[in-house]
Every structure is written in C-alpha cells, then in structure tokens.
Amino acid sequence: MNDVRLPVIADAQFARLFGTAPMVVSSAHGRVNLIGEHTDYNGGFVLPTLIPQATVAAVAPSSGRRVRVWSRELSADASLRAFHLGDEEAGQGWLDYVQGVTVALRAAGFEVGGFDLAVASDVPLGSGLSSSAALEVSVLRALRRLFDLDFDDVMLAKIGRAVETDFVGAPIGIMDQMVSSLASVGEALFIDTRTLATAPVALPAGTELVVINSGVAHHHAHGDYRTRRAECERAASMLGVVELRDVGVADLGRAQALPSPLDRRVRHVVTENQRVLDAVAAMRANDADALGALFSASHASQRDDYECSVAAIDQLVAIAQADPAILGARLTGGGFGGSIVALVRTGESPAAAARVAEGYTRASGHAPTVLVP
C-alpha cells in the first residue's frame, strides 16, 4: 500500500465554491475488517485495517453560524447544502453526517463557529468499507484543527460514532471510527471495544489482502443490523450478562439452551470473539494458513449462525476460497451485501483478485469492483 493517493480538492475549486481558500485539509481512510464481525456492539474484539481509499475534508471558517457543504461525489455541480449551527435537523440524506458532527461536538462540550466544507472521497458508499466513518473522522479532524478543539483520537472516534447512533439513527458499534481515527496504513489494529485498548498487528510474512466489493449494496441504518443488535441484547439479558462479551466459549453449552435464533446468534458472537484472539496469535506467530482458516470459519459463522450474509456474497466468498492463491476469505463489515476480504500469498493478489472477480461476474451477473490491491 505504498501507492496511497488521496482524493484532491484543489484550492481553486474550493475558491469557486466558497470564494475563499481552504484553511485546513484533513483526510481519513476507509477500513476493511479482517475478523471480528458484529462483536463490537457486544463489547468484544475486532481486527480491522485501513484501506488505501480515503475521504478528504477541506474547511474554511465563515462568519456567523452558517455551515455550507459540498461533496464531490454527492453534490450536483456547484450546488451547496447548508444549515445553521443549533438548527440541525435529521432527515436530509448525506448532509445528516455533517449535521451530526456539529451536533455530536456540541453534545461533547465542543463549540465550533460557522464553516465552509468540501469533501471528496473514493471510499465506495454502501460497500461495507466505512465510507461514513471516513467522512466523520476526516471532518472531525479538520474541525479540530480549524477551531483548536482539545480532544484526542479516541474521543474523536467516540464523537464520530455518536454522529450515527445519536443523530443519523444507526445503532452501530465503535470499530469503524476507532480504526479510521487511530490506525496507520499498513497495520491491522486489534481493538478491545470494551476498554478501547488497541494494539497494532502485522499480517503474517508472505501474505497480502484482496478486497472486492460485491456490487450488492447494504443498508444497515434500518432493518437487519438493528434486528441482530436487539437479538444480542435480548440474549445477553436472558443469560444474565451485561454484554455477550461476558460469555466465553466454555459457557456455550448454557447459551445453546436459548430459543432459536438467539442460540445461533450467541454462538456466532462468542466463537467470533475467540477467532479474533486466535487470529492475533496466528499473525504474531506468522502462521498464514491458520489465519486463512480463521477467515473462512468466520464466514461460515456469519452465513449460518448470524445470517448476515446474502447469496451473492456467499457465492463470491466460495469462488475466492476455491482460488489456489487464496488462503481464506470472508464477508467483511456490517453484511447483508457489501464486500469480501481474502488473505492471499504475497505477489499473487492482482491475479487472484482478477480471477475471482471474473468468476463471480460470470456466475452471478453482478458487477464487482476490486478495491485492494
């Protein structure tokens, strides 16, 4: 990932939109989760890493309390969206992610003045690669510098998550904002989402990643993600624990007495937490085969126990798993569509990704996009 090229917002373009030059330009990457899915809102473990794709936020202060926003991807031509600080109102599409930032900052005790903001992103939307976290983190970084706000990167992640949980209304965990705010490109970040302790972990020697967007978009602000989260909370209360994090593999017997589908939901979360710990151990021991097997076991658990996959993703994962250069593959992110991540022998990722994408196109009729390499 030496060839990371950030999207560019030219000063001249910013000036055309807002009549002034940007004062601060910040960026934040999207992420791919290696393993540890649907564990973060259960107080568990996750192991995401940054992808080269990123969002760039350019800002300049403006007088008064007006905020004007332009998105290279989502605004038509030079048309600006606007709102006033204190008058934020949800229900305005992508603008909610910016309104949510000013609301969440205020709720956390940080005051900002009016500003003009231009964003550009090459993190694909709805692909399970955290385009929303990249937007929140890039804008928060820009505003932190512009208004000299005093908070650290963990606090930044918490504010970013509040944008979604408290304003947008998506009941997510904290993985995406944590990795986008704290990780460095090229390392995976082990996160204990209960304590927010983090540790960088490198891929086993001789391996690299492939990330492919299935072309089937996910929507987790509503529907299935919310249902799964509620199922976990119900299971935790029936088991008498604060969060499913508190159930270990040794306690699974008791969890299996829960009514269906809670028994399977718990089995996914509990075994997935253990797989994250096993994955960290495999990476530290340079055991590529063990890590690949954990990827594939995680996919089976998502498919069969957590039921957060869809047929097209299962097909894409199966094609990847059958590829001779691939050691393991799984659905990544919130699920119900989105992207897959695969572990590949070094040097083989471009060819393997092309083979898998082609096989999947032929078999499914969907249009995949190779995002890594």
Choose between 133 and 247: whose C-beta lies nearer to ligand GLA.
133
CB 95 within 8 A of CB 48: no
Least separation in angstroms between residue 232's CB and ligand GLA is 10
Nearest to 48 by CA among 246, 205, 229, 193: 193
Single residue of 29, 38, 81, 144 touching ligand GLA by CB under 6 A: 38
Distance in angstroms (rounded) separating the CA atoms of residues 259 and 66: 52
Least separation in angstroms between residue 177's CB and ligand GLA is 8
Choose between 9 and 175: whose C-beta lies nearer to ligand GLA.
175
Choose between 229 and 355: whose C-beta lies nearer to ligand GLA.
229
Choose between 52 and 334: whose C-beta lies nearer to ligand GLA.
334
Single residue of 204, 333, 359, 368 touching ligand GLA by CB under 6 A: 333
Q: Is 352 helix (H, G, I), strand (E, B) or coil?
A: helix
Choose between 137 and 172: whose C-beta lies nearer to ligand GLA.
172
Least separation in angstroms between residue 171's CB and ligand GLA is 9
Cross-strand bridge partners of residue 331 = 340
Least separation in angstroms between residue 51's CB and ligand GLA is 13
What stretches of the chain adopt beta strand conformation (E)?
24-33, 45-46, 48-61, 66-71, 81-84, 115-121, 188-192, 197-201, 207-213, 326-332, 339-345, 369-372
CB 45 within 8 A of CB 87: no
Distance in angstroms (rounded) separating the CA atoms of residues 240 and 244: 10
Distance in angstroms (rounded) separating the CA atoms of residues 57 and 49: 21
Q: Count CB neighbours of 367 within 10 A.
A: 12
Least separation in angstroms between residue 104's CB and ligand GLA is 15
Least separation in angstroms between residue 87's CB and ligand GLA is 27
Q: What is the x/- site pattern for ligand GLA, positions 191-210, by CB under 6 A?
A: --------------------
Residue 145's contacts (CB-CB under 8 Å, 6 or more residues apart) are 24, 26
Choose between 332 and 349: whose C-beta lies nearer to ligand GLA.
332
Positions 155 through 184 that interact with ligand GLA (CB under 6 A): 172-173, 175-176
* Sign of the torsion formed by the C-alpha atoms of 217, 220, 222 and 226: positive
Q: What are phi and psi of 364, to 5 degrees?
A: -110, -25
Active-site residue identified among 116, 176, 278, 305: 176
Categorise residue 279: left if φ over 0, alpha if ψ from -120 to 50, beta otherwise.
Answer: alpha
CB 209 within 8 A of CB 187: no
CB 29 within 8 A of CB 54: yes
337 is a contact residue toward ligand GLA (CB under 6 A): no
CB 189 within 8 A of CB 198: yes
Choose between 144 and 228: whose C-beta lies nearer to ligand GLA.
228
Single residue of 14, 18, 41, 190 touching ligand GLA by CB under 6 A: 41
Single residue of 6, 9, 25, 37 touching ligand GLA by CB under 6 A: 37
Least separation in angstroms between residue 241's CB and ligand GLA is 19
Choose between 60 and 159: whose C-beta lies nearer to ligand GLA.
159
Least separation in angstroms between residue 119's CB and ligand GLA is 19
326-332 and 339-345 strand pairing: antiparallel
Q: Is 96 a catalytic residue?
A: no
| Residues annotated as catalytic (active site), given as ranges | 176
* Site residues for ligand GLA per CB under 6 A: 33, 37-38, 40-41, 172-173, 175-176, 333-334
